[in-house]
Chain A
Amino acid sequence: PGDTRDAARVRSAPAPVMDVARLCVCDLLVAQCDVNCCCDPDCSAEDFSLFTTCSVPVVTGDSQLCNQKAAVYSLDVEANPPERIFKLIDQVNPSIFCIHATNYKQALYLKSPEIPTPENFDQLLEKFGGATFRAEPDSWDLDTDAQNPPEANETSRYEYGVPVQTEDAFLRLPSPVVSSWCSDANPAGFLVNQATKCIRSVSVEKCDSIQALSMLFYINSSILAVPKSSQMVNITVQSIVVQSVNGMRTLLSSSDVLRLPMVLDELCINAVLGVNYHITHTDMGEIIEAAAAFVLGAISKEALSIEQSFEISFTQENTQAVPLSGNPGYVVGLPVRAGFQPQGYPFPAAFLSNKHSQLTILQSTSTQDCLAAQGARAPVLFGYNMISGCKLRITAAMKCQPLAQTLLDVLKGQSFPEYVASFGNSQAQDVLDWVPITQLHISEQMISYTLQSSCQIPVSLGIEVKWTKYGSLVNPQARIVNVTATITTTTLKQLPSGRERIIPITSSVVFTDISSPAEPSYKAWPTINIKLPFDFFYPFV
């Protein structure tokens, strides 16, 4: 009895409304009057008198039909109160290609969807169960099968972004997905330098069985030199750094021995805390070398999770990687490249541009004491205005001259560069691509009688970088035009003994855009220059 009742109760979709007079697209609220909806049956005459226009003036079927009924709604604003006019008219399509009749029911109406029943459920699930539906699934499958073989021949080298393949799957770079927990399914892309940090849950008792804590997990499968080939590149261990429980790192002298995690004195030692892959490739997209540098550490008993960090970098063989700050214009956020010029200008001219001679400014520290903050410097990043400072405590016992020199070192750093690259990719050989840093001295107090006698100490360094937009209008490149370093000095007044003074010392970097407004210009049309020869009209002239 239950089955027959269910069978009788097979639901069908509500029948589509075909009658133009009863169809109302703007009737959205049930049993309530929609504003400006003239076809809404829930609206009374008073509601109609408040409308301003009819949002749906005409309701018709397909306009391609030769002859059809149309419901026309309009508001008669002349009448007082305004009332709605409803007319049912015959709309005629004058074209000779209008549809006179059709024997295909679904031609002009949307198809009613099939109601799932136990019989057709599987077929419907197969057709519509996926993330995408295809109109003709069979023919498309044939096409993809035919395309596969020719594709395999083309990928005989790695391209940017293609996952680096290993024997079993892909070179994994564990990274956080959605949350901070490590996911091992993230493949490393060729030429995509990445650095990720993620958290892994650990337990000291099982630490030798957790695969992700062991060095073997990261180096056991060899990398394929080219995709889908049989040429393998083994991952060698480049270096091992052991981090002790208090954070001190020691570089091991021999990196041949594989150190596996084991439990020792309630600690799990030799657990992988970080891996740094270095992949060397040729310019043809083939991987020739792979090395991994490990940071091993110890996990204490109470720790439930550790943070692992992973990095991968790609270098081309026989090249020295020089990080560019833009190509060619500077990219906001990349360090401003600077350098020195060895003696012998103008011949030969070559700049030393290494990390130690970068343009840097003082980095504020938590202690805020200028004399204690030796060495902490932050690189100047293009486009980022920075200001930093410290406090100088002056006592009576301090001598002016050494203090001035110390402060100059604090402000300018150990090796303040002389030249700044005007483009992000300026080469050291191109002298003209480098802008000299102009050094200015401003004295805070222009009191003439004290200028010579007392000594001046620098209190602030302001670096102003003037840059301009260079190149085409649609893709302007940033180019540094002028760099000025201004040191402001002030007189150091002699303090009575026992007293002390605190002076703030500041250093700042400001980037100013001095681009002149650009005007688009177009190539001039070629002109035809016709000139007759001098004696064309000989002998008449």
Chain B
Amino acid sequence: SSQLSSLPLQILLYVNGIYYIFYFLATLAMIIYKSQVFSYPDDLLAPDLAVLFLMGILEVPRLYLGFKGNLTEAEAPLGLSLGLTVGSVVLCVYLLLWQTYVLWADVFLNAVLLSAYGLESGLKVTAIAAFVS
């Protein structure tokens, strides 16, 4: 039988993983830059850093479950990954809109990540539909 695993999803997940590493380091560097150049009190710096690290922690199982679900053509891990994606989207929107300082580079990086998440979610839904049926 023909394979049900989605190739575009696989490619997107792979690229997402690499992009995410770059995104995490760049955002962390920019937060450090902002804390030096602008007035960044500790009680506002802590939530921003917490959100970034939480997103990083969520990303690892999210991508792993995505890979596993897609390759083994199982809908449960893929569904779990979709759920984690929702959480990541929320955190990404926070970093895009409600950070203390949103630089133009922040806007760009987060927009790219959001579009990647959106596309991934769409592909996951179609893959789950394909696996279930």
**Inter-chain contact B104/A66, CB cutoff 8 Å:** yes
B41's nearest neighbour on chain A, judged by CB, is A104
Q: What are the residues of chain A within 8 A of B100 when measuring CB–CB?
A: 102-104, 107
User: What is the bound-complex CA distance between A100 and B104, given in angstroms?
Assistant: 5
Q: How far is the CA of A101 from the CA of B34 in the complex (A)?
A: 13
Q: Which of A68-76, A91-99, A233-241, A479-487 contacts B (4 or more CB under 8 A)?
A: A91-99
A95 to B44 alpha-carbon distance, docked (Å): 24
Within 8 Å CB of A98, what residues of B?
103-104
Contact indicator per residue, chain A 107-134, by CB within 8 Å of chain B (1) or not (0): 1000000000000000000000000000
Q: Closest residue of chain A to B99, judged by CB?
A: A103
Is the CB–CB distance between A99 and B103 below 8 Å? yes
Check if A104 sits within 8 Å of B103, measured CB to CB: no
Asked if A99 contacts B39 (CB within 8 A), the reply is: no
Q: Which residues of B contact A96 (CB under 8 A)?
A: 103-105, 108
Which residues of chain A are within 8 angstroms of B105 by Cβ–Cβ distance? 96-97
- Known contacts A97-B30, A107-B38, A107-B39, A102 near B104 by CB under 8 Å: no
List the B side residues contacting A97 at CB < 8 Å. 30, 33, 103-105
Separation of A97 and B105 alpha carbons in the complex (Å): 6
**Count class of interface residues, chain B:** 10 to 19
Q: Contacts A97-B30, A97-B33: A102 and B39 contacting too (C-beta < 8 A)?
A: no
CB distance from B29 to the nearest CB of A (A): 11
In the complex, whether A179 has a CB less than 8 A from a CB of chain B is: no
Query: At the interface, yes or no: A106 with Cβ under 8 Å from chain B?
Result: yes
B-chain residues with CB within 8 Å of residue A104 when the two chains form the complex: 39, 44, 100-101
Interface string of B15-32 (1 = CB under 8 A from A): 000000000000000100
Complexed CA–CA distance, A323 and B44 (Å) = 65
Which of B30, B102, B107 is the one whose CB lies under 8 Å from A102? Answer: B102
User: How far does the Cβ of B100 sit from chain A's closest Cβ, in whole Å?
Assistant: 5
Mask for A434-453, Cβ within 8 A of B = 1, else 0? Answer: 00000000000000000000
Nearest-Cβ distance from residue A134 to partner chain B, whole angstroms: 16
Which of B39, B100, B103, B108 gathers the greatest number of chain A CB atoms within 10 Å? Answer: B103
Within 8 A of B (CB), among A352-394: none
Docked complex Cα distance between A64 and B104 (Å): 11
Q: Chain A contacts of B107 at CB under 8 A?
A: 100
Give complex CA distance A100, B97 in Å: 10
User: What 10 pairs across the A-B complex have the smallest Cβ distances?
Assistant: A101-B102, A96-B105, A104-B100, A100-B102, A100-B104, A97-B103, A102-B101, A100-B107, A98-B104, A96-B104
